[in-house]
Amino acid sequence: MGQSPSSLLATCLNTVCDGRTDCVAYPNNPLYQISWVNRYNLDLPVTPIAVTRPQTVQDVSAFVKCAATNNIKVQPKSGGHSYANYGGEDGALVIDLLKLQDFSMDAKTWQATIGGGTKLADVTKRLHDNGKRAISHGTCPGVGIGGHATIGGLGPTSRMWGSCLDHVVEAEVVTADGSIKRASETENRDLFFALKGAGAGFGVVTKFVMKTHPEPGSMVQYSYSLSFGKHTDMVPVFKQWQDLVSDPNLDRRFGTEFVAHELGAIITATFYGTEAEWDASGIPQRIPKGKISVIIDDWLAVISQQAEDAALYLSDIHSAFTVRSLAFTAEETLSEQTITRVMKYIDDTNRGTLLWFLIFDATGGAISDIPMNATAYSHRDKIMYCQGYGIGLPVLNQHTKDFLTGLTDTIQASMRQNLTTYPGYVDPSLANPQQSYWGPNLAMLESIKTTYDPNDLFHNPQSVRPGNKKASMTQEF
pLDDT digits (tens, 9 = 90+) for 395-437: 899 999 999 999 999 999 999 889 999 998 888 888 899 999 9
Q: Give the helix/strand (H/E) hosting 115.
A: strand 111-115
Higher-scoring residue by pLDDT: 144, 82: 144
pLDDT digits (tens, 9 = 90+) for 230-250: 999 999 999 999 999 999 999
Q: What is the mean pLDDT of residues 31-36?
A: 82
Cis peptide before 394 (omega within 30 of 0): yes
Q: What is the mean pLDDT of residues 284-290?
A: 85
Instruction: Check: pTM over 0.85? Answer yes or no.
Output: yes
The Cα 295–Cα 218 span in angstroms is: 8
Predicted confidence at residue 316, as pLDDT, reads 62
pLDDT digits (tens, 9 = 90+) for 192-233: 999 999 999 999 999 999 999 999 989 998 888 888 889 999
Nearest one of 107, 299, 306, 345 to 222, comparing CA atoms: 306
Nearest one of 208, 94, 98, 212 to 162, comparing CA atoms: 212
Residue 442 sits at φ, ψ, to 5 deg, of: -65, -45
Predicted confidence at residue 319, as pLDDT, reads 83
The Cα 390–Cα 262 span in angstroms is: 11
Q: Which fold has domain 219-432?
A: Vanillyl-alcohol Oxidase; Chain A, domain 3 (3.40.462)
pLDDT digits (tens, 9 = 90+) for 299-328: 888 888 887 776 655 556 678 888 899 999
Could you tell me which CATH number the domain at 8-96 has? 3.30.43.10
Q: What is the mean pLDDT of residues 39-59?
A: 89
Give the pLDDT band of residue 82 (cuts 50, 70, 90).
confident
- Whether the per-residue pLDDT at 96 is higher than 70: the answer is yes
The Cα 247–Cα 393 span in angstroms is: 39
Higher-scoring residue by pLDDT: 59, 142: 59
The Cα 297–Cα 442 span in angstroms is: 42
From first CA to last CA, the distance across the chain in angstroms is 44
pLDDT digits (tens, 9 = 90+) for 130-179: 999 999 999 888 899 999 999 999 999 999 999 999 999 999 999 999 99
In sequence order, which ranges of 386-457 are alpha helices (DSSP H)? 398-412, 433-438, 442-452
8-96 and 219-432, same CATH topology: no
Neighbouring C-beta atoms of residue 477, cutoff 10 Å: 11
Domain locations along the chain: 8-96, 103-214, 219-432
Any bridge partners for residue 458, and if so which? 74
- Whether the per-residue pLDDT at 2 is higher than 50: the answer is no
* Beta carbons of 158 and 363 less than 8 angstroms apart: yes
Sign of CA dihedral 76, 79, 80, 84: negative
Predicted confidence at residue 472, as pLDDT, reads 43
Q: 336-348 and 398-412 are packed helices; what angle lies between their axes, rounded to 10 degrees?
A: 170
Predicted confidence at residue 426, as pLDDT, reads 84
Could you tell me which CATH number the domain at 103-214 has? 3.30.465.10
Q: What is the mean pLDDT of residues 66-94?
A: 85
Enter the DSSP assignment of 78: S
In sequence order, which ranges of 52-188 are alpha helices (DSSP H)? 57-69, 120-129, 145-151, 158-161
* Beta carbons of 328 and 387 less than 8 angstroms apart: no
Any bridge partners for residue 133, and if so which? 214
- Spell out the residues 6+ positions from residue 7 whose beta carbon is closer than 8 angstroms to its own: none
* Beta carbons of 336 and 241 less than 8 angstroms apart: no
Q: What is the mean pLDDT of residues 47-51?
A: 93
pLDDT digits (tens, 9 = 90+) for 245-277: 999 999 999 999 999 999 999 998 999 999 899
Give the pLDDT band of residue 5 (cuts 50, 70, 90).
very low
DSSP 21-54: TTSEE-TTSTHIIIIII--SBTTS----SEEE--
Predicted confidence at residue 147, as pLDDT, reads 94
Q: Edge to edge, what strands does the sheet with 50-52 contain? A: 24-25, 50-52, 93-96, 74-77
Q: What is the mean pLDDT of residues 63-67?
A: 98
* Beta carbons of 361 and 387 less than 8 angstroms apart: yes
pLDDT digits (tens, 9 = 90+) for 349-378: 999 999 999 999 999 999 999 999 999 999
* Beta carbons of 62 and 17 less than 8 angstroms apart: no
Higher-scoring residue by pLDDT: 83, 134: 134
Nearest one of 245, 336, 250, 238 to 288, comparing CA atoms: 238
